[in-house]
Amino acid sequence: MFGMPDNTYFGKLVPKNKFYDKLTIDKKLERSFIDQINSIRWVHKLSADTLNVEKGSIVEEVEVFLIKLKTSEIDLNVLRQMDKQLHYHLIFILEYEEQYQIWTGYKEESVNTAFKVGNYYHTDWVTEETFSLRIDGLNMDTVYENLVRQIARETIPSSVASMQDTVTNALPPAPAVYKRNTA
């Protein structure tokens, strides 16, 4: 899927209620999981072992989730909740009516918690045939940064060396509810 190597395929269905059943979250967020998401599948596990690259000093693994949507919109807090619960670097592939949008929240090390999620970035709605992600880098830190740059595209200039500086000075965060432009 989207150019990911076959040996990274994981394919595990994740019950969406795992993200809200045993947690104290507001009812609106719980409704977003129920009303907006059809299914969540953990489709790829990118690691030093599965990609044959060196381990990263910060990035251990990148987990890729396919989220099949019931509607053309997603509450960004759904992705934030998943990011908060899963202490790995995540990429979300949203699917609606055979169109896909790839999202990621740039995670950096934090003093108080394992990771702090910065801005969220996403592609336009694409088909699987018209967009692919390149696995590029000699270690997991570089692989992750290059994936974020591909997803963010023009938002993060490729000439900027420090990803952390770029994210800190990037555009304002995405709106709380993101709706697909059908025009």
pLDDT value of residue 144: 95
Q: What is the arithmetic mean of pLDDT over 59-71?
A: 96
Q: How confident is the model at residue 109 (pLDDT cuts 50, 70, 90)?
A: confident
| Residues 144 and 135: beta-carbon distance below 8 Å | no
pLDDT value of residue 111: 65
| Residues 42 and 65: beta-carbon distance below 8 Å | yes
In the chain, DSSP assigns E strands to 9-14, 37-47, 61-69, 73-75, 89-96, 99-109, 115-122, 177-179
What does the pLDDT look like over 133-159, one tens digit per residue?
A: 999 999 999 999 999 999 998 777 655
Q: What is the arithmetic mean of pLDDT over 13-33?
A: 86
pLDDT value of residue 32: 92
Share of the chain above pLDDT 70, in %: 80
